[in-house]
Chains A and B, each alone.
Chain A
Amino acid sequence: MPCKDAMIDKVISLTPDLTIEEALAILEAERIRTAPVLSKDNTLLGMFGFMSVMKKVLPVSVTMADGLEHLDFARGAKPDIANRLKDLKAKTVDCAMDEKPIVLSPDLSVWEGILKLTKHGSPLPVVESQTNTFLGILTEQSAITELEQITSGSS
Chain B
Amino acid sequence: MIVATVILVAAYFFIITEKINRAIVSLLGAGLLVLLGVLNFELVVQGIDFNTIFLLTGMMVIVAITKESGVFQFVAIYTAKLVKANPRLLLIALAVVTALFSALLDNVTTVLLVVPVTLLLTDQLKLRAYPFLFSQIFASNIGGTATLIGDPPNILIGSAVGLSFMDFVEWVSPIAILVLVVCLFIFDFIWGRKMTAAEEDKQAMMQYNAFEAIEDKVLLTKSLITLALVLFGFIYGHGQGWEPGTIALTGAAFLLLLHTLGGKPEEQSHAVHSAFNQVEWETIFFFLGLFVLVSGVEHTGLLKIIAGKLLGITGTNVELAGMIVLYASAVLSSIVDNIPFVATMIPLLKAMQTDLGGPQAIEPLWWCLSLGACLGGNGTLIGASANVMVASFSERAGQRISFMQFLKLSFPLMMLTTVISSLFAYIVYF
Contacts and interface: CB of A to CB of B under 8 A. Distances in A.
Q: Which range holds the interface residue count of chain A?
A: 10 to 19
Interface in B112-134: 112, 116-117, 119-120, 123-124
Contacts of A65: 396
Contacts of B119: 59-61, 67
Contact of A60 (B112, B215, B397): B397
Interface stretch (A6-14, A76-84, A117-125, A145-153): A76-84
A119 to B, nearest CB: 20
A118 B196 CA distance: 48
A73 B77 contact: yes
Nearest to B123: A59
B403 interface: no
Contact of B207 (A67, A70, A76): A76
Most chain-B Cβ atoms within 10 A of its Cβ — which of A59, A64, A65, A73? A73
Interface in B198-233: 203-213, 215
A75 B393 contact: no
A41 interface: no
Interface residues of B, number: 27
Contacts of B213: 70, 72-73
B208 A73 contact: yes
B204 A61 contact: no
Main secondary structure of the interface of B (DSSP, over half): helix
Contact of B124 (A64, A68, A70, A77): A77
Given A76-B203, A79-B204, A70 B215 contact: yes
B212 A72 contact: yes
Contacts, number: 65
Nearest to A79: B204
A29 interface: no
Nearest to B215: A70
A68 to B, nearest CB: 5
Nearest to B398: A60
A68 B73 contact: yes
B70 interface: yes
A75 B116 CA distance: 17
Contacts of A77: 124, 204, 207
A96 B210 CA distance: 31
Given A60-B123, A70-B73, A75-B212, 6 more contacts: A61-B119, A68-B73, A72-B213, A73-B77, A73-B213, A75-B207
28 contacts: A60-B119, A60-B123, A60-B397, A61-B117, A61-B123, A62-B120, A64-B116, A64-B393, A64-B396, A66-B112, A67-B116, A67-B396, A68-B116, A70-B70, A70-B215, A73-B77, A73-B210, A73-B212, A74-B120, A74-B208, A75-B212, A76-B205, A76-B207, A77-B124, A77-B204, A77-B207, A79-B204, A80-B204
